[in-house]
Amino acid sequence: MELDLIPRNVTGLARKTLDDTPITVISGARQVGKSTLMQQLVQGRETRLVNLDNFGDRSAAQADPDGFASQYPQGLLAIDEIQRVPELLTSLKASVDRDRRPGRFIVTGSADLLSLRGAQESLAGRAETIPLEGFSRDELSGRIADFAAFAWALPSSEMPADRRGISRREYLEMAATPAFPEARLRLGRSRDRWLSGYVDRLLSKDAGEATGIQYPDRLATLLSLLAARNSGEFVASHVGRELDIPARSIPAYLEALRSLFFVRVTPGWSNNIARRAVSKPKVSLTDTGLAAHLSEVDVDGLEKAVSSSLTGGLVEGFVIGELEKQRSWSTKKTRMFHYRDDHGREIDIVLEDRRRDIVGIEVKASSSPRSEDFKGLRYMRDKLGERFVAGIVLHTGERSLPFGDRLWALPISTLWDHTTPEFVPAPE
């Protein structure tokens, strides 16, 4: 199957949004497939498509944003790369306030529009954002997975089956392979050149335009450090000392990388039963294949003991990425955190639903789960009582094993290879 023909699992949600919301925003990093998805969504609709990466379209939008937004009132105006002309957001708001029909605009943005430099409008109440990342493993498998719904159903379901046929090395290959559609088509040095060019162009051009940060070398240095410490806790003062950059500048640089979708930030989880929780966030690259590239490591390197911390962070980031992608279409609405307290108890991922119930997830790059891997999960189970739904250790082995009350060890592939009442096949 050609990569550009692989169905995206947010397609159904995007179509519903077009039918009931004036402005549909497809938001994500460059080269994740936003333009392709937009072109698929507008098929069969009366549409005019403009791309603000083109000099002519961009110049027209900058010269007369109000007129540009009003150019196609009889149909759907599709605007690619709207972050290139942030003042156009205000014109879209004004146009929608005059005519609130659903499906008036669909736009793509390669920077977070809520933090975009020069943007004066959030489009609150007028737009719905569809996040898009690189391919998820269930998209590549031709299905729609919903691990959160699966995890919440674990206490009342049968013991999950073993997952034969995926080795630890294959999991490491998955984590070290970029999810960008075009990058997946390349191998070896060709892929490395593509990834290097991708980072260079975004940091040297897009970062300045979208965020106002004019130090691409500092951004590149910070990005490489975060890649090497993927899924690690972030302390601005420590990072500043290591990079010889003023600590007061570090939050702005991190926000610039987040705005361009290079990194994701996972906050610390705490409530009144965990008063000793440490609130420092974790930072991971949104694409672990890019993290491996920036860390200059391949699968052979990841298998060596000297790379254990890098390997563990990369695998954890890979799992976080799969869960984050599924949140866009999951039937179970959750927020994602991590947990650590000053007694050394940790949980890599904490999913919390709207009832404030919890599923805790530990990620291990080893293939043989052990009882001590459940230390943090047992603590949280005992503290939370009925609020604790399940504790799961995801590992690179094949066996699914119970480890006590509401505790399970499951292969990582369970993320995209499971059955729940909500499971449905990917759309044709």
SS3 category, 121: coil
C-alpha span between 211 and 209 (Å, rounded) = 6
Residues 6+ apart with CB under 8 A from 345: 339, 375, 376, 379
Give the mean pLDDT per block of 10 residues along the chain (428 residues).
Answer: 74 95 95 95 94 95 95 94 93 93 94 74 85 96 94 82 84 97 95 97 90 89 96 92 89 94 94 66 97 95 84 97 96 95 90 96 94 95 95 94 94 86 40
The pLDDT of residue 120 is 63
Residues 6+ apart with CB under 8 A from 155: 389, 390, 406
C-alpha span between 414 and 138 (Å, rounded) = 10
What domains are defined for the chain? 3-131 (3.40.50.300), 137-425 (no CATH)
SS3 letters across 188-249: HHHHHHHHHHHHHHHHHHHHHHHHCCCCHHHHHHHHHHHHHCCCEECCHHHHHHHHCCCHHH
Residues 6+ apart with CB under 8 A from 205: none
The pLDDT of residue 210 is 82
| Cα separation values, 54 from 25, 111, 196, 375, Å | 19, 17, 24, 55
SS3 category, 266: strand
The pLDDT of residue 425 is 39
The pLDDT of residue 1 is 41
The pLDDT of residue 428 is 34
The pLDDT of residue 263 is 97
Tokens of 6: 């692989």
Tokens of 327: 């949140």
**Which residues are paired to 105 by β-bridges?**
23, 77
The pLDDT of residue 421 is 45
Q: What's the pTM?
A: 0.92
The pLDDT of residue 118 is 65
C-alpha span between 228 and 216 (Å, rounded) = 18
105 close to 97: Cβ distance less than 8 angstroms? no
**Which residues are paired to 401 by β-bridges?**
409
**Which residues are paired to 47 by β-bridges?**
76
The pLDDT of residue 274 is 53
Decide: residue 391, CB within 10 A, 0-12 exposed, 13-18 middle, 19+ buried. buried
Among residues 303, 320, 290, 294, the alpha carbon closest in space to that of 176 is found at: 290
